Amino acid sequence: MENKKPVDFISSLGAKVNSLLRTITDIFYLFMQVLHWLFIGPFKGKAANRETIFEQMVFVGVKSIIIVFFIAIFTGFVLAMQSAYQLQQLGAVIYVTGLVAVSITRELGPVLTALVVAGRVGAAITAQLGSMKVTEQIESLETMAINPIRFLVVPRFLALLIMMPALTAIADLSGILGGFIIGVTNLNINGHLYIEMTKEFLALKDIMTGLFKSAVFGVIICLIACYKGLNTEGGAEGVGRATTESVVTSFVLIILADAILTAIFYFGNM
């Protein structure tokens, strides 16, 4: 049996903390570079390619609509049924309307959309950039004096930043529709009343905070996916590993950011 000294444990812990800190600084640096190319680049005549941005927007947004729609509408069903189960005991089934609307727009819409996009788009971005890295394509861009951040990351960043709130708006609507369907068919709430009650309970700030969250999640997904992709090493196996890490890290960070943002909104009375 090997004797493990406590010193070894501390030094390996130190090495882990060190590499974590380096990753965080690297991602922050990537973010700064993206902002640089986004806001300063165009004035130097070095804007990101418009066609690429649109292509990415289609990939991120348009092609995610169906899956986001289904996930949100089913969540709306579930939410309406679960809350009705509780509220029936109090004779307050009508409150299902507000409960569904507020929890979808403030919380579930943005978070579920972000998780779907992280799994679908984040993974694809990491896999694509990762395989470009291991086949010398990123280096070839550099030797052609084409900055890979501007050429590859900025279009994806913009696409996610714009399409995440758009997808979340679709998720909000679909979720409320799901609640509406259960409410009208199963809980005997009048359709007109359901809509009026939803309007009554739902404030604009509920929707706005949700959309703000989703934009932050979009930034997280893009930065993590691009960072993992551009730092891929070790051939095809490395691409697989990077993709898994990208999705897992995005998931954890999305939930973490959600907790922080919710706390800020809650204590800030927003």
Partner 1 sequence: MEDKEKPVIEVKNLVKSFAGRRILNGVDLQIYKGEVMVIMGGSGCGKSTLLRHIIGILRPDEGQVLIEGQDINAVPQRELDKIRRRIGMLFQSGGLIDYMNIRNNIALPLREHTNLDESVIDIIVNLKLSMVSMRGMGSLLPCEISGGMNKRAALARAIALDPVFVFYDEPTAGLDPVVAGVIDQLILDFSKKLAVTSVVVTHDMQSVFRIASRIAMLHKGEIVTVGTREEIKNSKDELVQQFINGKPEGPISFLQKGDNYLKELTEK
Write out the residues near partner 1 by the rule CB under 8 A: 128, 131-132, 135-137, 139-146
Q: Is 2 left (phi over 0), alpha (psi -120 to 50) or beta?
A: beta
- Could you list the beta-strand ranges (E) of 132-224: none
Pick the closer one to partner 1 by CB: 124 or 203. Answer: 124
Q: How far is the CB of 146 from partner 1 (least distance, A)?
A: 5
What are the tokens at 88? 């029936």
C-alpha 92: how far from chain center: 34
C-alpha span between 100 and 80 (Å, rounded): 6
Question: In the bound complex, what is the minimum distance in angstroms from residue 136's beta carbon to partner 1?
Answer: 4
Round to whole Å and give the CA distance between 66 and 129: 25
User: Minimum Å distance from CB 138 to partner 1?
Assistant: 9
Q: How far is CA 112 from CA 3, 64, 127, 175, 217, in A?
A: 47, 12, 22, 11, 11
Q: How far is the CB of 245 from partner 1 (least distance, A)?
A: 21
Closest CB to partner 1 among residues 106, 150: 150
Closest to partner 1 by CB, 26 vs 136, is 136
Nearer to partner 1, 19 or 186 (CB): 19
Long-range contacts, stretch 79-85, CB < 8 angstroms, 24+ apart = 79/103, 79/104, 79/108, 79/175, 79/178, 79/179, 80/178, 80/179, 80/182, 80/183, 80/186, 80/187, 81/182, 81/186, 84/182, 84/186, 84/187
Residue 32 or 263: the one with the smaller Cβ distance to partner 1 is 32
Kindly state the smallest distance separating residue 131's Cβ from partner 1, in Å: 8
Q: Which is nearer to partner 1, 96 or 132 (CB)?
A: 132
CB of 227 to partner 1, least distance (A): 19
CB–CB of 122/109 below 8 Å?
A: no
Nearer to partner 1, 56 or 75 (CB): 56
Tokens linked to 151: 């050429």
Q: How far is the CB of 209 from partner 1 (least distance, A)?
A: 37
